[in-house]
Amino acid sequence: MPSRRARPALIVAGMHRSGTSVVSLAIQQLGIDLGGAGDRSPHNPEGYGEDLEVVALHRRLFRAAFEGSEERAGHHHDWGYDPDETFDAASFGHIEEEVDAFLDRGDGDGPWGWKDPRTTLVLDQWTAALDDPRVLHVVRRPAEVAASMAALGEGPWQDPVLPHRIWRYYNRHVLRFARRTSVPCAIVHGSIGVAPPAALASVLRSRLGLDVDPTGVAFDHIRADRFAGSAPRGDLPTRDRIASELLWRRLDRRAIRPDGSIRR
């Protein structure tokens, strides 16, 4: 049985609350094993579509990378973020032995993969460790991501600025990776996960070389209202609003929409 390392591996990445869970669950409906539904919560009742072993690896990585640093206001170490953006992907070495053990396991054949937004910050390291990686980035408008984060309840996400700054941090990584990689890579709008299955299947086949068949598949178990529009919060400083909007325009020009089009 081939190891995970040797099999085609699909990594679903992108900023948290951008639709990565919806897209991961949809991909699993199309027949690619991404680790199951993962944990569920009132905010993601269908599940996060995550491989919990990968999530645990990343959390250990970020804890080690920020060891000795105080998590003050404006920081969120569990997502690899502090205001000075000091996370160093070279700290991946903290978990390399565990990664090797994870990838050298033989537990199936055919394509597999995982979804964890944290992977966005260490994609170079993961893709170098795999023989046949493919990457699917999921993106969503910054105001919608910020509104989704605020809906999580009390805590740091009630600050209108922090969600935008983390959103920009992650999506700069998305664009940087997509621009320079030789790995098969595509960027999609998160709403493709609630579109007719043929839309996502087309991206997986034509952009990432993964043979999936949408015949008989339905995504109606996933709430389509996840992607209802959200108005920008009025108390966001102009500088942050403009910075997020400019970066969104760059993403939107590269992202595949549910109808298969790309805005030019």
C-alpha 88/C-alpha 65 separation (Å) is 7
Average pLDDT of the chain, as a whole number: 89
Domains, the chain, in order of start with CATH, read 4-252 (3.40.50.300)
172-231 pLDDT, tens digit each: 999 999 999 999 999 999 999 999 999 999 999 999 999 999 998 887 656 555 665 554
At 263 the pLDDT is: 74
Q: Considering Cα of 160, then 233, then 251, then 149, what sign does the dihedral take?
A: positive
Confidence of residue 16 (pLDDT cuts 50, 70, 90): very high
For residue 137, give the nearest of 37, 40, 256 by alpha carbon.
Answer: 256
At 258 the pLDDT is: 92
Cβ contacts of 163 within 8 Å, gap of 6 or more: 142, 145, 146, 149, 150, 157
Percent of residues, the chain, with pLDDT higher than 70: 89
Segment 58-76 shows an average pLDDT of 89
C-alpha 254/C-alpha 263 separation (Å) is 7
CB atoms within 10 A of CB 71: 12
142-165 pLDDT, tens digit each: 999 999 898 887 677 888 899 999
C-alpha 92/C-alpha 202 separation (Å) is 33
Cβ contacts of 242 within 8 Å, gap of 6 or more: none
**What's the gap between Cα 232 and its chain centre?**
22
pTM: 0.93
Q: Contact 20/11 with Cβ under 8 angstroms?
A: no
At 232 the pLDDT is: 46
